[in-house]
A = this chain, B = another copy of it.
Amino acid sequence: MLLLTTIAAVRARREEVSWTGMRVAFVPTMGALHEGHLALVRRGLARADEVWASVFVNPTQFSPHEDFSSYPRDLERDRAALEREGAALLFAPSTREMYPRPPATAVDVAGLTSGLCGLHRPGHFRGVALVVAKLLNIVQPQVALFGAKDWQQATVIRRLVEDLNIPTRIEVLVTVREDDGLALSSRNAYLGAEERLAARVLWRSLQAAAGAARAGERRGTALEAVLAREVGREPLAGLQYAAAVDPDTLQPLESIERRVLLALAVIVGSTRLIDNLLVEGL
């Protein structure tokens, strides 16, 4: 597997690969790779001739008080994991390589970014949109893969790619979970033993609300109340938001017809965790 750290080297390699007619699938990550990321790599191998990954902890999507500096970093471990899965290339640029000067350009995806995580992480999706646009333009993949755990992120990226006519197909994969339902996340590493147990409350709450929906509850606010009530039962957990929204527009659903996205952000100890569940066929 090639490990490249400069944009120029990636572009040069991309041009070589283009000449062979090979298709590239791309898995952009912030590193600290887990089974969820590796599932994206495996799907990429089914979709293209080569899988290219990136590891870049993007500073522009963190607020000043967030965990940019403490975010887990272990490039050698990530490199080894990607190589084992059969990735062909890892792009691991420095911040300076990606942002040689502060960007003047802001990419804003209206509507989709105002609620849910966007409400609690101002500027986050602007940072995500910018870095994803940059990475897609650098790698120029035929397909890029994202996990459904970051549903709002995936929705924003789909819209960005559509609006800017970026020639990459976006594919979103179902969330990979631990046996007890906890969604895999690099931030799970922050959890102490008791917190890890408490973190099961996210999946339990989503299941409870999905059960209510399947039992006939059609009011979005009632489903949100189920989520909030379940989270409230866990002493180590604090609710940031509980939402029942349209899976495409991310707007609150007053009355649910066939589909609803249940979404949660919960602070466990001092770790912010998110999760969501798409309930269909109602």
Interface residues of A (CB under 8 A from B): 7, 11, 18-19, 21, 103-112, 129-130, 133-134, 137-138, 140, 159-160, 163-167
Our pick among B7, B11, B104, B164 for the contact of A110 (Cβ within 8 Å) is B104
Nearest chain B CB to A249 CB, angstrom units: 10
Our pick among B104, B111, B137 for the contact of A112 (Cβ within 8 Å) is B104
Nearest chain B CB to A193 CB, angstrom units: 43
- Please determine whether B109 and A164 come into contact, CB atoms closer than 8 angstroms: no
Which residue on chain B has the smallest CB distance to residue A140? B167
Our pick among B108, B138, B164, B167 for the contact of A133 (Cβ within 8 Å) is B164
Nearest chain B CB to A156 CB, angstrom units: 9
Most buried by B among A19, A109, A134, A165: A165
Complex CA–CA separation, A7 to B163 (angstroms)? 13
| 3 nearest A-B residue pairs (beta carbon) | A105-B163, A103-B163, A137-B165
Complex CA–CA separation, A163 to B107 (angstroms)? 10
Known A-B contacts A107-B107, A108-B106, A110-B106; A134 and B165 likewise in contact (beta carbons under 8 Å)? yes
Known A-B contacts A7-B165, A137-B167; A105 and B21 likewise in contact (beta carbons under 8 Å)? no
